[in-house]
């Protein structure tokens, strides 16, 4: 009651003293750093000016126009429901930001402080006092807590796998939030995963249905906001004039364009013609045929369009025809091996791809994470406890040269199918228990033009074995829904990989993910040894331990034959209008359009 008689200046002084005495112990308790590396030390030291691979002197301005496909019905990229708008990631920031020239290092963004608690008990973040949302409201630890809980409980299944080892979250003081881990967790990557937590506005989202698709423009945390859009046709983002972090070192040299525009097209053929006509600025070209043919285009010859390949040193990941092991027809590994033999990569590479690709032989090709042909001493030691649970093929040489003669390969396939109980009747149809061998390969309408010319030769080879494989084309929304619910026989898909594999492997290949709708365990593989090896990857305490465990995972996945591997190239191929420029230095992870500019 005596405070009523104190002057406002005295009251302010007491409040300031209280805040100082409260915050100093917290700062001492958590000796925050502005950066951290998964292994070793971060490349960039405290107070660095910018990343090495950007051009801070490049001019700002202009609009970068790109193509998108299908349509969109949501501005929420974190929910399993709906199709989010292309480029929506421009509107969201995370607690910290990765650099592109290191395997896995994080630097302060919304959080300017990072501290891993002793004995891996948890991780603390200090929220930058200047951080605000697009409407100018302050970003607080309460927003971070809300974001974590919402993503874990209502977001894509990815987040449940990423965050499952977090036991509790506690806000301490005005700007500190601490994530405490389960006592038995050895999840070394978890502090870094939490550092990439996207931050949502609690005020804007808390009274809305997070799972519902909506085109209401949200309050967001990133450098761009939605300017205007027309569902199914286009969306335009503009720089947020209220963005608080334009001058932050991790953002210097990024975001030169005033606007990003994404125009939607029915398929790639229409989009290519639009690009030739100058209707958008840049195109990432994944088709070898289009890349080769484009070199003869008039606008390439006269210099209006530039074609450039950017090398990278990332794992290729695994693209291929994915078997859905939930289907009885694919549960016998001999059958999967037979169908793999029917895929003639050499013919496709020579006749369809102009020899531009290399056959994928690993889930981590193009990197040191690729399993060697035979397991070394450390890998054998890791695999020894599971020896009786693994096929002998795991311990045999990988990458043995395949038979190149198509006829001989098909004979090998027939032999394997016969061993699995499949026989050809007098009409040339492969059957087992009078049930014909037939299945669908599911693709979407946007990419059907590219994939049909690749799938049809494979279907033709299968027909020679008595197998009736059909292409099923559906629109993008239906395709997404069928993937989420695993309603397909075979799909063309890809598992992307990084130089720091970790928790995402649960989402890709764990037994739990096989039954979790919306996960990327597209094959439905359930293998307790794979589950155990994934946990070894997540708990690796050194880079050497990580590499050994990744080699083991790669080896087991390859011998399980959950996918017919396709091909890769260690380059990103771009075509762009000649007024688009980019930095000279290409980082480890490849070029980043967000560092480009227009003149």
Q: What is the pLDDT of residue 269?
A: 86
Average confidence score pLDDT of the chain: 92
pLDDT tens across 171-203, in order? 998 999 999 999 888 889 999 999 999 999 999
Q: What is the pLDDT of residue 113?
A: 96
In the chain, what are the helix, strand and coil shares in percent, each to the nearest 5? 35, 20, 45
Buried b (16+ CB within 10 A) or exposed e, 26-64: beeebebebbbbbbeebebeeebebbebbbeebeeebeb
Q: What is the pLDDT of residue 13?
A: 37
Residue 558 has pLDDT above 50, yes or no: yes
Q: What is the pLDDT of residue 402?
A: 77
Q: What is the pLDDT of residue 25?
A: 55
- Does residue 550 contact residue 364 with C-beta atoms inside 8 Å? yes
Residue 289 has pLDDT above 60, yes or no: yes
Bridge partners for 236 per DSSP:
228, 261
Confidence of residue 259 (pLDDT cuts 50, 70, 90): very high
12 contact partners, CB below 8 Å, separation of at least 6:
none
Confidence of residue 6 (pLDDT cuts 50, 70, 90): very low
Buried b (16+ CB within 10 A) or exposed e, 449-463: bbbeebbeebbebbe
Burial class of residue 5, CB neighbours in 10 A (0-12, 13-18, 19+): exposed
pLDDT tens across 388-437, in order? 999 999 999 998 777 788 899 999 999 999 999 999 998 999 999 999 99
Residue 231 has pLDDT above 80, yes or no: yes
Share of the chain above pLDDT 90, in %: 83
Does the CA dihedral 142-507-182-542 come out positive or negative? negative
Residue 24 has pLDDT above 80, yes or no: no
401 against 158, higher pLDDT = 158
Domain map (residue ranges) of the chain: 1-30, 31-54+69-205, 224-314+571-598, 318-568
Confidence of residue 476 (pLDDT cuts 50, 70, 90): confident
Q: What is the mean pLDDT of residues 321-341?
A: 97
* Radius of gyration for the alpha carbons in the chain, expressed in angstroms and rounded: 26
Bridge partners for 225 per DSSP:
238
Architecture of domain 224-314+571-598: 3-Layer(aba) Sandwich (3.40)
Q: What is the pLDDT of residue 19?
A: 41
- Strands (DSSP E) found in 370-467: 423-424, 430-432, 435-436, 438-444
- Closest listed residue to residue 279, CA positions, set 70, 579, 65: 65
| Cα–Cα distance measured from residue 312 to residue 333, given in angstroms and rounded to the nearest whole number | 34
- Strands (DSSP E) found in 16-110: 35-37, 63-69, 96-98, 105-108
- What single-letter DSSP state applies at residue 56? T
Residue 267 has pLDDT above 90, yes or no: no
Phi, psi of 49 (to 5 degrees): -85, -40
31-54+69-205 matches 224-314+571-598 in fold: yes
Q: What is the pLDDT of residue 28?
A: 65
Confidence of residue 27 (pLDDT cuts 50, 70, 90): low
Q: What is the mean pLDDT of residues 93-110?
A: 96
| Cα–Cα distance measured from residue 555 to residue 558, given in angstroms and rounded to the nearest whole number | 5
Q: What is the pLDDT of residue 223?
A: 98
Architecture of domain 31-54+69-205: 3-Layer(aba) Sandwich (3.40)
84 against 404, higher pLDDT = 84
Confidence of residue 3 (pLDDT cuts 50, 70, 90): very low
Per CATH, the number for 318-568 is 3.10.105.10
Bridge partners for 472 per DSSP:
442
Q: What is the mean pLDDT of residues 102-111?
A: 96
Confidence of residue 23 (pLDDT cuts 50, 70, 90): very low
The token duo for 98 is: 């990765």
């Amino acid at each position: 009651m005596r405070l009523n008689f104190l002057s406002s200046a005295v009251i302010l002084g007491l409040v300031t003293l209280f805040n100082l005495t409260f915050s100093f112990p917290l700062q001492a308790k958590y000796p925050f750093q502005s950066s951290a590396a998964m292994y070793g030390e971060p490349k960039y030291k405290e107070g660095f000016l910018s990343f090495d691979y950007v051009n801070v002197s490049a001019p700002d301005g202009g609009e970068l126009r790109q193509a998108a496909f299908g349509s969109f019905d949501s501005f929420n990229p974190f929910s399993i429901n709906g199709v989010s708008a292309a480029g929506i990631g421009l509107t969201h920031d995370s607690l910290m930001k990765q650099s592109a020239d290191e395997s896995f290092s994080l630097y302060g963004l919304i959080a300017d402080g990072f501290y891993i608690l002793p004995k891996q008990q948890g991780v603390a973040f200090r929220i930058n006092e200047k951080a605000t949302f697009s409407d100018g409201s302050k970003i607080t630890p309460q927003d971070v807590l809300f974001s974590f809980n919402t993503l874990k409980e209502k977001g894509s299944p990815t987040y449940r796998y990423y965050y499952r080892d977090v036991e509790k979250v506690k806000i301490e003081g005005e700007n500190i939030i601490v994530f405490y881990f389960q006592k038995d967790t050895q999840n070394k990557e978890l502090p870094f995963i939490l550092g990439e937590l996207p931050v949502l506005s609690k005020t804007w989202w808390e009274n809305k249905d997070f799972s519902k698709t909506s085109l209401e423009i949200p309050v967001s945390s990133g450098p761009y906001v939605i300017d205007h859009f027309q569902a199914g046709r286009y969306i335009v983002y503009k720089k947020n004039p209220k963005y608080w972090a334009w001058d932050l070192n991790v953002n210097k040299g990024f975001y030169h364009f005033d606007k990003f525009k994404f125009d939607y097209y029915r398929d790639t053929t229409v989009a290519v013609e639009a690009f030739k006509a100058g209707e958008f600025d840049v195109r990432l070209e994944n088709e070898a045929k289009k890349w080769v043919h484009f070199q003869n285009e008039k606008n390439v010859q006269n210099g209006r369009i530039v074609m450039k390949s950017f090398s990278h040193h990332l794992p290729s990941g695994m693209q291929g025809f994915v078997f859905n092991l939930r289907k009885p027809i694919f549960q016998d590994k001999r059958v999967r091996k037979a169908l793999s033999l029917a895929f003639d990569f050499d013919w496709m590479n020579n006749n369809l791809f102009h020899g531009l690709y290399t056959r994928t032989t690993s889930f981590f090709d193009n990197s040191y994470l690729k399993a060697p042909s035979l397991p070394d001493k450390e890998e054998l030691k890791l695999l020894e406890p599971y020896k009786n649970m693994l096929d002998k093929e795991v311990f045999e040489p990988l990458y043995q040269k395949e038979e190149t003669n198509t006829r001989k390969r098909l004979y090998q396939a027939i032999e394997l199918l016969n061993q699995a109980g499949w026989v050809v009747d007098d009409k040339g149809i492969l059957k087992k228990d009078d049930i014909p061998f037939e299945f669908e390969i599911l693709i979407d309408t946007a990419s059907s033009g590219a994939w049909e010319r690749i799938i049809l030769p494979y279907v033709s080879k299968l027909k020679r074995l008595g197998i009736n494989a059909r292409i099923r084309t559906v629109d993008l929304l239906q395709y997404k829904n069928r993937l989420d619910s695993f309603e397909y026989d075979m799909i063309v898909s890809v598992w992307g990989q990084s130089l720091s594999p970790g928790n995402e492997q649960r989402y890709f290949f764990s037994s739990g993910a096989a039954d979790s709708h919306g996960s990327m365990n597209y094959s439905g593989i359930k293998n307790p040894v794979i589950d155990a090896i994934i946990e070894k990857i997540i708990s690796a305490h050194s880079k050497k331990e990580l590499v050994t465990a990744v080699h083991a995972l790669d080896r087991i996945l390859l011998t399980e034959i959950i996918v017919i591997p396709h091909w890769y190239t260690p380059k990103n191929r771009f075509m762009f209008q000649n007024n688009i420029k980019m930095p000279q230095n290409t980082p480890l992870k490849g070029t980043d359009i967000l560092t480009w500019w227009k003149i």
